[in-house]
Structure 1
Amino acid sequence: MKARYSLLIALLSSTSCYAKLGAGNGFSGEISLNSVYVTQESNLSTDADANLANLGQPSQTTDSFIVAPLGNIAYTFGQSNQQVYFGTTRDDIAVGTLAVQLGYKYQFSSKMTIDIAYLPTVMSGSVWQNPYDTESTRQETDVDGNAYRLKLSNIAGSLFSVDMAYGDKEIEQDSLQGSDLARDADTYFIKGQVRLPLSRATMLAPAISYTKQEAEGSASSFERYRGELSVFQFLGAHQIALTASYSQTDYEAESTRFSGQTRSDNGLSLFAAYEYVDFLGYKNWSLISFLGYDQSDANIDFYDESQTIVSLGINYQF
């Protein structure tokens, strides 16, 4: 779950679904400074104790506090209908998803937008060489990988969008290589979402997604189905986004490591983001905060995980 540390800021999307890509041609962006407290329970996290007593032990609890700057920059050109950008996107952050992206957007006269991006950090991170080692101290290794994204927004001028992605990852020193739990994998993702304005100040955004991971080990391969509902509320200078989701993950094959059991996970995620724009009367400055909670309940206790993240920060938009 260490990769989830990327959920560091919460900036709500205050623009209309039909807005231009930028206020005008030229550079724009934002930068924020965030204080973040994270607590998690996980046997797989490299922040957990490197010494594992047995595979039946409860998930280990760790916590940490960090201060981190984040932001994005974009350049809009043409008839304000083309844009290149680098950083994080407000739409993603508002629902609890954050990833650094290098991308290009093109908006048609119908307001339909094509967004193509490269995500260099999504698949990268660190894991244990052998997370199940109970005989010696577990050692870390790096995960290398790349991810690519294609998003179609306001399709045919509607409020419907489709988000598609592909990623690959490779464990540098995977002690499980050649076993049914080998972790090198290709991952495919698709998500459909529709935005439903209830009033000028309230909007719903239900979504469903499907993820398929094809790993070298059959017991590490899975299919995941996820349902999500977001509520956006705009109250003058105060903007709030609430997101709840539930997922079901079914693994492809049984694992010899766990007496022939086939892993299955149920996931629950709750996320609340808040922005106070023009904070204390300072134009373009915002107070930002969020609270996120993720829980994964597996039929194999070793894989049970949970994480809580609390963040408070200041954002400047230019």
Structure 2
Amino acid sequence: MNQRTSRLAVLATAVVIGAAGFAGCATGPVDRRALCTGFDELGKDLMSANGIFDNAVFSSAGDLADLADRYQGGGLSADASALDRISDADETDNFELERATSETAKVCGHPLGIGTTSYAETGGGSTRANGGYGSYGGYGYPDPTTSAAAPYTQPYTEPPTSSPPTATSAGDETSAQTTLQQQVDTDRAQVEALADKWVPQLSSKNYGLVADGTTYDHRAIWADFTTTRQSYPSALLLWSGDYTSYTKGDFWVTVANTSFPTGAAANEWCVAEHLDADHCFAKLVSHSHGPKGSTLPR
């Protein structure tokens, strides 16, 4: 990594050049604990930045790039490359950092800057109570700390495709967040079938949102989803951080399981269903299209 001159600049969510971290000087494979310590450090620096990213963010991004590249579980080369580009850049933003750590977040069990990693010896993963995803966030990845013979080399498994969660499994905050992620995993294949098409978006909630007289925690978000499903049983749940067409990556989004070639056609569906403009509008769900032009309000 190259040493940079410190400077500070305020952007929409952004940015300053950073000094490269020292992690790149080390060699050899690293385990999950080392990887996720770097991941949590970047998250802490990101949350402390408050929209003004100083050297610490760029330095931590460079350190994590090195750790991801040397992670002995493999599969993080894309994150490593993206983080390395960020560490060498003049500016970045929250959304770019979330995308650059998407696979690392699955290993560590929680999104960047939300919660911290747990290093439980058995059962493991980060717990929902501290903001993590529990058992690697419900992504379906086995916890590498549970195998004494080969603690970090167990193969990944596919996310669940059956046995969707029920409302009774979300009785408290911890299980509600787990249940939300399980629902996202269950619905993922059907949501992917809607990719790059316009769909009616029925709800979008994140933790702490205040709307319609409700302050949303994970139990309220799950209740919102199940209420919508009572009217639209085929409705699907997605995590906005999985798609580039969303401005923010921390929302649980409910969409109708139907697609249209244009946003106008999706909005016509909302009108036909007698849903108001605040609770139904056209959204493009995409892995390649940016947020601009991906929403068509009514």
TM-score by length of 2: 0.28
Higher relative contact order at CA 8 Å, sep ≥6: structure 1 or structure 2? 1
Question: Which structure has the highest helix share of the two?
Answer: 2
TM-score by length of 1: 0.27
